[in-house]
Amino acid sequence: MNTLFAAVFNSTSEIGFKGPTKSIDVKNDILYPVYFWAGIVAVIVIIIAGFFYVTSQGEAQNVVRAKNAILSAIIGLAIIMGAFVITKFVVGGL
Protein backbone atom coordinates (compact mmCIF):
# COMPACT_ATOMS: atom_id res chain seq x y z
CA MET A 1 0.00 0.00 0.00
CA ASN A 2 2.84 2.41 0.76
CA THR A 3 4.42 1.85 -2.63
CA LEU A 4 1.11 2.50 -4.37
CA PHE A 5 0.77 5.84 -2.56
CA ALA A 6 4.36 6.74 -3.41
CA ALA A 7 3.73 5.93 -7.06
CA VAL A 8 0.70 8.22 -7.18
CA PHE A 9 2.54 11.24 -5.76
CA ASN A 10 6.02 11.52 -7.21
CA SER A 11 6.93 14.75 -5.47
CA THR A 12 5.55 17.10 -2.87
CA SER A 13 5.03 19.79 -5.49
CA GLU A 14 2.25 17.70 -7.03
CA ILE A 15 0.16 17.94 -3.86
CA GLY A 16 0.70 21.65 -3.30
CA PHE A 17 3.87 21.88 -1.22
CA LYS A 18 6.85 23.94 -2.35
CA GLY A 19 9.32 21.49 -0.92
CA PRO A 20 11.92 22.01 1.78
CA THR A 21 12.89 25.58 2.56
CA LYS A 22 16.57 26.25 2.06
CA SER A 23 18.56 28.17 4.63
CA ILE A 24 19.51 30.64 1.89
CA ASP A 25 15.84 31.58 1.48
CA VAL A 26 15.54 32.23 5.21
CA LYS A 27 18.71 34.29 5.11
CA ASN A 28 17.55 36.45 2.22
CA ASP A 29 13.93 36.76 3.29
CA ILE A 30 14.32 37.29 7.04
CA LEU A 31 17.85 37.94 8.27
CA TYR A 32 19.07 40.49 5.72
CA PRO A 33 16.05 42.78 6.13
CA VAL A 34 16.42 42.56 9.93
CA TYR A 35 20.11 43.49 9.68
CA PHE A 36 19.29 46.31 7.26
CA TRP A 37 16.58 47.88 9.42
CA ALA A 38 18.58 47.44 12.63
CA GLY A 39 21.48 49.24 10.96
CA ILE A 40 19.18 52.03 9.81
CA VAL A 41 17.81 52.44 13.35
CA ALA A 42 21.35 52.53 14.80
CA VAL A 43 22.40 55.24 12.34
CA ILE A 44 19.26 57.27 13.13
CA VAL A 45 20.00 56.98 16.86
CA ILE A 46 23.55 58.20 16.25
CA ILE A 47 22.25 61.20 14.28
CA ILE A 48 19.64 62.10 16.91
CA ALA A 49 22.12 61.67 19.77
CA GLY A 50 24.60 63.86 17.89
CA PHE A 51 21.92 66.52 17.58
CA PHE A 52 21.25 66.29 21.33
CA TYR A 53 24.99 66.54 22.00
CA VAL A 54 25.29 69.67 19.88
CA THR A 55 22.24 71.31 21.46
CA SER A 56 23.07 70.36 25.06
CA GLN A 57 24.72 73.76 25.62
CA GLY A 58 27.30 72.28 27.94
CA GLU A 59 24.83 70.84 30.48
CA ALA A 60 26.64 67.86 31.96
CA GLN A 61 23.60 65.60 32.25
CA ASN A 62 22.56 66.11 28.62
CA VAL A 63 26.12 65.67 27.35
CA VAL A 64 26.48 62.38 29.23
CA ARG A 65 23.09 61.18 27.99
CA ALA A 66 24.01 61.98 24.37
CA LYS A 67 27.43 60.34 24.67
CA ASN A 68 25.88 57.20 26.17
CA ALA A 69 23.33 57.04 23.35
CA ILE A 70 26.06 57.38 20.73
CA LEU A 71 28.18 54.73 22.42
CA SER A 72 25.24 52.34 22.72
CA ALA A 73 24.31 52.83 19.07
CA ILE A 74 27.90 52.19 17.95
CA ILE A 75 28.06 49.02 20.07
CA GLY A 76 24.73 47.91 18.60
CA LEU A 77 25.98 48.60 15.09
CA ALA A 78 29.11 46.54 15.78
CA ILE A 79 26.94 43.66 17.04
CA ILE A 80 24.74 43.88 13.94
CA MET A 81 27.78 43.81 11.66
CA GLY A 82 29.24 40.88 13.60
CA ALA A 83 25.99 38.96 13.28
CA PHE A 84 25.95 39.69 9.55
CA VAL A 85 29.50 38.37 9.12
CA ILE A 86 28.72 35.25 11.16
CA THR A 87 25.59 34.63 9.08
CA LYS A 88 27.55 35.03 5.83
CA PHE A 89 30.25 32.67 7.12
CA VAL A 90 27.95 29.96 8.45
CA VAL A 91 25.27 29.94 5.76
CA GLY A 92 26.93 30.97 2.55
CA GLY A 93 30.61 31.43 3.12
CA LEU A 94 32.45 34.67 2.60
The residue ranges of every structural domain in the chain are: 22-92
pLDDT at 6 (0 to 100): 53
Strand, coil or helix: what is 70? helix
How far apart, in whole angstroms, are the C-alpha atoms of residue 50 and residue 44? 10
Please answer whether residues 2 and 70 qualify as being in contact, where contact means their C-beta atoms are separated by less than 8 angstroms: no
pTM tops 0.75: no
How far apart, in whole angstroms, are the C-alpha atoms of residue 94 and residue 76? 22
Instruction: Dihedral sign for Cα 24, 26, 30, 35, please.
Output: negative
Nearest Cα to Cα of residue 34 among 45, 42, 22, 46:
42
pLDDT at 28 (0 to 100): 76
Query: What confidence tens digit (pLDDT) does each residue in 14-63 have?
Result: 556 666 655 566 777 888 899 999 999 999 999 999 999 999 998 999 99
